[in-house]
Amino acid sequence: MTTKIKKLVFIVAAFCFFSQAHAQNDHIALERINAEEFRVRSTNGIPFTVVLENSNNNGQYQLASNTELTFKFDDVTRQSMIRIVFDRAAYQTMEDKIILQYRSDVEWIKSQLDITDDQSKLFPTRPIFDDRSLEALKSKVFQYTTTSTKENAFNKWIERVNYSYGAVLFLRELYAASNGENNPQSRNFESINVYEALRM
């Protein structure tokens, strides 16, 4: 996989494992910088929109991958709230990268297992499955593993398709939660009281 895709794999796979002392949910952390400023940073590199409300500086701020936002304490009150939004453009960009990688992996396994273009119709164009259809696909592809070398390639492809499948599900769940759907990601989109988060 390319360096960019490996980075994306790390972001999605590690999203729920954080040890930051000041993390307020699975995706952002609020931290004091000094007596005058605090920052909001992404704990996993996913680009969110940060919404600051009930403050002297209300607005929507783009929190890009591997960046942070800085705010002044003078701009917030005891009622100031911060929440995140996973907007459609960010969601689509990340999903498109996963889909492109999935298609690249399909071409790779076709070449490794000598699957012709006519036979390649067994592969969906997007890694959108339920568990049953994913296992059915794996079973069909396994039929082309006629040597130990091909079986090794098949096992590597399994890891890749499992990632694509899981990553797309995760991003869709994240986007749905950002738009109000009740699911395991919902709590990450609840408003955070700035004063309470920073124990002011």
Q: Write the pLDDT tens digit of every residue in 26-69.
A: 899 999 999 999 999 988 889 999 999 999 999 999 998 778 99
Residues in a beta bridge with 85: 49
Average pLDDT over residues 10-14: 47
Residues in a beta bridge with 59: 52
Residue 200 has what pLDDT?
A: 59
Number of neighbours of residue 189 by Cβ within 10 angstroms: 19
Long-range contacts of the stretch 58-67 (C-beta < 8 A, 24+): 60/85, 63/28, 65/11, 66/42, 67/41, 67/42
Average pLDDT over residues 76-98: 95
Q: Is 71 helix (H, G, I), strand (E, B) or coil?
A: strand
Q: Give the mean pLDDT of the chain.
A: 88
Name the pTM for this structure: 0.81
| pLDDT tens by residue, 154-200 | 999 999 999 999 999 999 999 999 999 999 999 999 999 999 998 75
Burial class (CB in 10 A: 0-12, 13-18, 19+), 49: middle
- Answer whether residue 11 shows pLDDT above 60: no
Residue 64 has what pLDDT?
A: 83
- Answer whether residue 23 shows pLDDT above 60: no
Please report which confidence band the pLDDT of residue 16 belongs to, taking 50, 70 and 90 as the band edges.
Answer: very low
Residue 19 has what pLDDT?
A: 34
- Answer whether residue 15 shows pLDDT above 90: no
- Answer whether residue 4 shows pLDDT above 60: no
Residue 199 has what pLDDT?
A: 78
Q: Is the pLDDT higher at 118 or at 111?
A: 111
d(CA 4, CA 171): 17
